[in-house]
Amino acid sequence: MNISPRAGKPADLSMLVNVPKLVTAYYTQVPDPSVQEQRVAFGTSGHRGSAFDTAFNEWHILAISQAICLYRKQQKIDGPLFLGMDTHALSEPALASALEVLAANGVNVMLAEGDDYTPTPALSHAILTYNRGRTTGLADGIVITPSHNPPHDGGFKYNPPHGGPAESRVTGWIEARANKFLDARLRAVKRMSVEKALRASTTHRHDYLNAYSTDLAHVIDMDTIRGANISLGVDPLGGAGIHYWEPIAERYGLNLTVVNKAVDPTFRFMAVDWDGQIRMDPSSPYAMQRLIGMKDRFDLSFACDTDHDRHGVVTRSAGLLPPNHYLSVAIFYLFQHRPQWRQQASVGKTVVSSQMIDRVTAKLGRTLYEVPVGFKWFVEGLHDGSLGFAGEESAGASFVRLDGSVWTTDKDGIVPALLSAEMTARMGRDPGELYRELTREFGEPAYDRVEAPATPEQKAVLLRLSPQQIRRTELAGETIRTVLTQAPGNDAPIGGVKVIAQSGWFAARPSGTEDIYKMYAESFRGPDHLRRILKEAQTVVNDALAIGASSENGLKKEHDRLNKRASGRVGTQA
């Protein structure tokens, strides 16, 4: 992975997105449905893309919104639809486009008071709060955000009545219907002007901020934080929670300072990420340079990404904690300081998260629920309380309330950030110090994630790998114990492969949005062993891709041969 020379430095003016040009492209560029890259495509976090690439334009949003209206009708979802947006430049135009369609279809829409921004967890919380105790007239929602993606991107996510990310069968249905609307040049899409939609009797206002913030005391011990009077710094990274932090501090009497109050769709205040792009990633040591530089000003500081569903925690003792470190500490703390949680409540993690979590979970006497990448796999468990905590290595997490009932079923960046303050206040040590204690007991893992280019054909091969295609028997000097292509927790395909030895492992999976694949690896024997794992993992994957490509070519040749024979028989009969 090549690190850009700009990484960690302030963004240069030449890098800033031209917002007027971007918004103009949103309205003027029309997608060509015959071009795959210009069709609607739901990945693990909704439909994403840039208007410059004709991948996120008005036609996409109109088509998706109409498809969601049809899905609601089919599923008899007839309660309100909670609609929120983040601070990306394309989010406000997309919200207007969606509202035009939703209002024309008679959907009761709940917009934020004062046209404010809405964090993803606040919208999930709103859906769940509304639906509590109901069996009919259920609510659902749409979050308009590309998460921490660069400023030129837009994103559009659908959350069904369970409040979390939609399942693949749901997004697949919506995606297919939306593309049919594109194919038909939007002929069946209902629409009214945004001015008329805003005045419609079906358009309402909802106080997301107060509904969410007043409920925080049911998931975080705010009294303990207030009593310790620890100094807290927060950088919203110009995101959807920008107006949430000061009211939260005022309501609960926290000694909290918002270090950056700017909302700027160019995100010019960000430090450049590893690849030379502006990206609002609170887990990136490059993007988080400014807050890291302030670490000694506060007892603890934290940040959230643009839709506030991811967190980053900066401690005096260790600086920015890698996500796996903080997830491990959070799990170890929560399951010992939440006496009302169910004794059977499990720990949820993705297959590419650290095995430190496995060791902590075993120590706690809890069950590990290991699933593919994607927070949608945790929704049911968080909803019914069978999961106490769920987290991803990409710094997304949520957990249940103090009484063990559901809080949010989508990722929540705000609550893990506040949890870091709770544990610091209660334990007298920050999460960096607490993680060091874990390493003394469980070992100190070295972890890395790298990316490598891959053609669409190679990505397809990697996606369909079987354990039998991994021919090696050793990994970095240790016998390979397990090769996984399905997750242990729910037997769902992981979309790649995971190879596990005694003290290390690696996983490889194709990206859903770029022509790359991602390699994750970890060693409990130190950085040198990790580098050896990564080197051998590259060879393993290259060999598997070669075998897969050979197999694919063989099948293609056989298919062509049979087709040729069939064509010959048809010609003779004619």
| Catalytic annotation, residues | 147
Per residue, what are the HEC states of 208-257?
Answer: HHHHHHCCHHHCCCHHHHHHHCCCEEEECCCCCCCCCHHHHHHHHCCCEE
Residue type, 457: E
Can you state the angle between helices 323-334 and 414-427, rounded to 10 degrees? 60
Contact 280, 238 (CB under 8 A): yes
Query: 293-296: which pairs have CB atoms within 8 A and are 24 or more residues apart?
Result: 294/233, 294/259, 295/319
DSSP assigned state of 3: P
Compute CA distances 280 → 46, 146, 243, 265, 414, whole Å.
Answer: 18, 11, 17, 11, 15
Interacting residues of 389 by C-beta distance below 8 A, sequence separation 6+: 330, 331, 334, 335, 347, 348, 397, 398, 399, 400
Compute CA distances 270 → 273, 287, 311, whole Å.
Answer: 9, 6, 16
End-to-end CA distance of the chain: 58
Distance between CA atoms of 110 and 107, rounded to whole angstroms? 10
Compute CA distances 328 → 332, 437, 478, 504, whole Å.
Answer: 6, 11, 25, 17
Give which of 146, 169, 138, 143 is closest to 383, Cα–Cα. Answer: 138
SS3 of 114, please?
A: helix
Contact 101, 65 (CB under 8 A): yes
Distance between CA atoms of 104 and 527, rounded to whole angstroms? 58
* Residue 512, token pair as written in the block: 């859903």
SS3 of 324, please?
A: helix
Distance between CA atoms of 415 and 121, rounded to whole angstroms? 9
Distance between CA atoms of 349 and 197, rounded to whole angstroms? 42
Q: Is the dihedral of CA 486, 488, 491, 492 positive or negative?
A: negative
Distance between CA atoms of 32 and 185, rounded to whole angstroms? 10
Give which of 423, 8, 400 is closest to 221, Cα–Cα. Answer: 423
* Residue 253, token pair as written in the block: 């009497």
The tokens 């308009």 sit on which residue?
144
